[in-house]
Every structure is written in C-alpha cells, then in structure tokens.
Amino acid sequence: MSTATSKTTTYFNLIDGAWVSSSSGDAFENRNPANTDDVVGVFQRSTAADVADAIDAARLAYDRWRLVPAPRRAELLFRAAQLIAERKEALARDMTREMGKVLDETRGDVQEAIDMTFFMAGEGRRQYGQTVPSELRDKFAMSVRQPMGVAAIITPWNFPMAIPSWKIIPALVCGNTVVFKPATLTPLSALNFVKILEEAGVPRGVVNLVTGGGGEVGSAMIVSDDVRIVSFTGSTDVGRTVSQHAAPSFKKVHLEMGGKNVVMVMDDANLELAVEGCLWGGFGTTGQRCTAASRVVVHERVYEAFLEQFVARAKGLTVGDGLDPNTQMGPLVSQGQLDTVMQYLEIGRSEGARLMCGGRRPSGAMYANGFFHEPTIFADVAPSMRIAQEEIFGPVVSVVPCRSFDEAVAIGNGVQYGLSASIYTQDINRAFAAMRDMYTGIFYVNAPTIGAEVHLPFGGTKATGNGHREAGVAALDVFSEWKSVYVDFSGRLQRAQIDTADL
C-alpha cells in the first residue's frame, strides 16, 4: 500500500490484490495546494502495461464476482460504508491536505461517500426487474438486470471520494469489476477509498487502482476491448475525446462534464437568503464544482440592493488553509487552475464587465506557497460575454441584470451546458414555471445550485453529459444491462404476434 521514509510516503498501485510499483519505475509527487512545501505523498506514474495488467486482473475476477449473489456483494459494501464512517475525520483531513477545500466540505465529501455506499448496498436486494403477462397461454415473461464486465472509472480532483463512490459502488453491486484511475492531483483520497473496499472483503482483482496521467493511463483504459463500460467525470473537451475513443468497440460510455450554472434572483426574492445561497454556491469549494453558481441573474428592481449585499459578504470571506477552522474558502487546487482564473479575470476586464471585488491573489506570508485567490465578483455582465458562457472553475461569479422572469430563463438556458439551475422567488407559479422551462438535469427553488443528494439522479443536459445519470437507482442503468426472459411451458411451438391465444 505504502512505504514511509523520513521525508515522504510512497504509495502503490493495487492490481489483482497486490500493492505494486509501476512497471516504469517512475513516480510523481502530490503536494498540498495551501502549502506546496508540504509533500502529501509520492504515487506511481503508471504506463499502458500497468493498465493492461489491471484490466486482465479485473477480467479474470469478473468470472467469479458476477456469480456472487447481489445481496452478498451488498454485505461487503455495507461493511465498507461502516469503515468509512468510522474514519471520517482522518479521511477528511487527508482530503483537505491534498485538495485544499475546507474541513467542513471534505467532511461532507466523505459523508457523501458514506451515504452513497449505504444507499447502493441496499440496492443489492432491490435490483428489481419486471414480470408481465404474456400474450400467449402457458408462457412466462420477465426482465432481469445483468452485469456487463470490466468498468473503467476515471474521476476528477474536486470530489475525490464522493465521485468515486458514485461510480465504483453501483458498478460493484451490479456485479462488474473495476479499474480505477483517479485524478493525479488527489490520488491519496482515492487510495484511501480503495483500501477500505479491500479491507471490507472485496475479493482480489475486483477493484484495481492505477495512478498516473490521463494521456497514458486513461487512454489505455478507454481503448481496451476488454473494458465494457467507461464512466468519466471531467471537462467537456476530454469527455468528447473519451466518447470518440470508446466508440469503435461499442462500449457503454457515461459522461459527466462541465457546467455554467445559474441562480435567478427575482424581484420578490428574500434577498438575504439569496445572498447566502449565492455565496455558498459561488465560493464553496473555491468555485471548483461542476454545479457551482458561477452566474447570478438578478431582476433589475432588486439588482443594486442584491449586488451591494453580495459584494460586502464576499469581501468578508476568510481565505486560507482549509485545515484552519476559521477558513471559509481554501486555495485553488493547482497552479494551472490559478492561472486559468487569472486569465479569465483579464478576459472579464477586456469585455467591459465591472469588477466589484477580488481580482487578485491575497498578499501575506501565509499565502506565499499556496494557490490562493480572492473571491471575485463581476457586475453588469452581458450574457454573451465569455465569463458568462465558459466554465472558469474558480471563485469568480458573474452578475447579470434582467428585466423579467422570461428573460432570466432565456439567459439561464443560453449556454452550452445544462447541469444545475435555481430560482429565488416567493411566487409558486414562477417557481413551477422555472422548474418546467429550465433545461437542466438539476433544479432548486430558494436554494443554490449545489446540494444534490445521493438518492436522486445526478447529471445534466447538452454539453454537460450524454444522457446517463449518476446516483439514485438511475446509476444501476449505467452499470447493468437489461435481459428479457421468456419461459414457454406449453410444450408446443407458440409464435408471438402470429398465433392468438384462445379466449
């Protein structure tokens, strides 16, 4: 699993039940984004050969795992959920150290993995099919779920334990085996999750972990003919590539990609509540959520009042190390993410948006070795501006004025993504109209665009996804296929749609 020296700990891949080095002999460092002098660990820089070994292990393990009764598979997952719950605080602290978000949020991330694992374990006894009357006499008709084989799981860094649980746990309960490539920025949380599955009794080869870059590891997983399902969460550009590379072998592909989510604040909204929601939606996780509220469309009648309160509250947020209990917003995850934010600040200024607060890195010794950025708000943003159209994935919120409910909905829908949206209003008619008219996979009333729960489907429309959903029982449809079964006990040939049963 790992070896420790006086300076750093080295962690290994899990392939066929053994913790092993990469065949390349190469490794990479994982550093704390709040303090880059802090090396969290050293992880394997894997190759296509390592991926092939992991896929082979998963393929061989599938022959036995698929025959384990689903309730028995579920018992192992219940045990895993209990272990995660027992270790929640330690897992959260590891996550904050490698990803940067504040402890309250990493505790929530771990809690989501607990919730998802308990929920999906329950589906071990609820993989319901259908029984239907046949159109012919003495014939029984039903449908059953069947597993598919090896699942390739590719996850991002922003929810390094929750998102793996959304994918791996339903894959396992359905009877598939897994090859898992976590983000290179957050491999420790992924490894912690896999170690717990191993400790809970998941047999060797059923879950395999291979760390390393997407170009080397991810691509090898996607193109393998032995992989039957690919579940990917990440950017829309990479998701498009995943889909293209998986297409020749007719894999099932599940894509969860970008978002440019909107909060619509109507003229009858509770402004104090709306401001609270926009702060949490825009700056929670330092804006690094696919569901982040990066656009706020505000009715002109309350525009100035909302803006004044929103800017004042954003200026008051405490930025710092996520392990500090006083911190309200941690660092960005990497230098690359910080550079992206800084580039979009220049774009916003050049487009003529009004910078209301933020727009720079905080000064001081405590920020010198981290990827920190101030909460930033642009006002008077036109819907067509790039900062209102493109996913920034940082603590940058664009505030857009509107003249009516209909205009707010049109602005909200006027982007390539369709993940999450919300409305603040006291008018139930407006709320229901918005629920109907916003073309998103998730919608909130009088709440921000973040806060999904594990027992309902999660996913989006348009460039956000390809129609499949995570979480809830919808996840079972990603990781299983339907089989219709007909049993004819008549003792004679009966021809459906041709022969007619006697009355």
For the chain, what percent of residues have pLDDT higher than 70?
99
492 within domain boundaries: no
pLDDT at residue number 177: 98
- For residue range 31-51, list pLDDT tens digits in order: 999 999 999 999 999 999 999
Q: Is 272 one of the annotated active-site residues of the chain? A: no
pLDDT at residue number 499: 86
Asked whether residue 408 falls in the same domain as residue 470, the answer is no
Q: Cα–chain-centroid distance for residue 278?
A: 20
- Judge whether residue 322 has pLDDT over 90: yes
pLDDT at residue number 123: 97
Task: Tell me the CB-side half-sphere exposure of residue 434, using CA atoms within 13 A.
Answer: 30
pLDDT at residue number 4: 60
457 within domain boundaries: no
Q: Report the pLDDT averaged over residues 411-434.
A: 98
Beta strands in 234-344 (DSSP E): 252-256, 262-265, 295-299
- Judge whether residue 6 has pLDDT over 90: no
Asked whether residue 141 falls in the same domain as residue 285, the answer is no
Asked whether residue 314 falls in the same domain as residue 165, the answer is no
Asked whether residue 288 falls in the same domain as residue 407, the answer is yes
pLDDT at residue number 363: 92
- Judge whether residue 292 has pLDDT over 80: yes
Q: Is 290 one of the annotated active-site residues of the chain? A: yes
- Beta carbons of 470 and 265 less than 8 angstroms apart: no
31 within domain boundaries: yes
Asked whether residue 340 falls in the same domain as residue 323, the answer is yes
- Indicate which residue of 174, 290, 357, 402 is catalytic: 290
Mean pLDDT (the chain) is: 96
- For residue range 57-105, list pLDDT tens digits in order: 999 999 999 999 999 999 999 999 999 999 999 999 999 999 999 999 9
pTM of the model: 0.95
Asked whether residue 328 falls in the same domain as residue 246, the answer is no
Terminal Cα-to-Cα distance of the chain (whole angstroms): 68
Distance between CA atoms of residues 411 and 461, nearest Å: 16
314 within domain boundaries: yes
Q: Report the pLDDT averaged over residues 384-394.
A: 97
Amino acid identity, residue 386? R
Distance between CA atoms of residues 48 and 289, nearest Å: 30
Sequence-ordered list of residues with C-beta below 8 angstroms from that of 191, at least 6 positions apart, any chain? 1, 11, 14, 43, 182, 209, 211
Asked whether residue 232 falls in the same domain as residue 158, the answer is yes
pLDDT tier for residue 5 given thresholds of 50, 70 and 90 = low
- For residue range 197-207, list pLDDT tens digits in order: 999 999 999 99
Asked whether residue 246 falls in the same domain as residue 112, the answer is yes
3 within domain boundaries: no
Q: Strands 252-256 and 227-233, how do they pair? A: parallel
Domain that holds residue 127: 18-257+465-483
Q: Report the pLDDT averaged over residues 138-166.
A: 97
Asked whether residue 294 falls in the same domain as residue 248, the answer is no
- For residue range 457-482, list pLDDT tens digits in order: 999 999 999 999 999 999 999 999 99
335 exposure class (CB count in 10 Å sphere: 0-12, 13-18, 19+):
exposed
Phi, psi dihedrals of residue 70, rounded to the nearest 5°: -55, -40
Asked whether residue 335 falls in the same domain as residue 472, the answer is no
Sequence-ordered list of residues with C-beta below 8 angstroms from that of 375, at least 6 positions apart, any chain? 282, 283, 314, 315, 317, 319, 329, 357, 358, 395, 397
- Indicate which residue of 256, 374, 391, 470 is catalytic: 256
Q: How many domains does the chain contain in total?
A: 2
397-401-404-410 Cα dihedral, nearest 10 degrees:
-50
pLDDT tier for residue 266 given thresholds of 50, 70 and 90 = very high
**Which CATH number do you get for residue 414?**
3.40.309.10
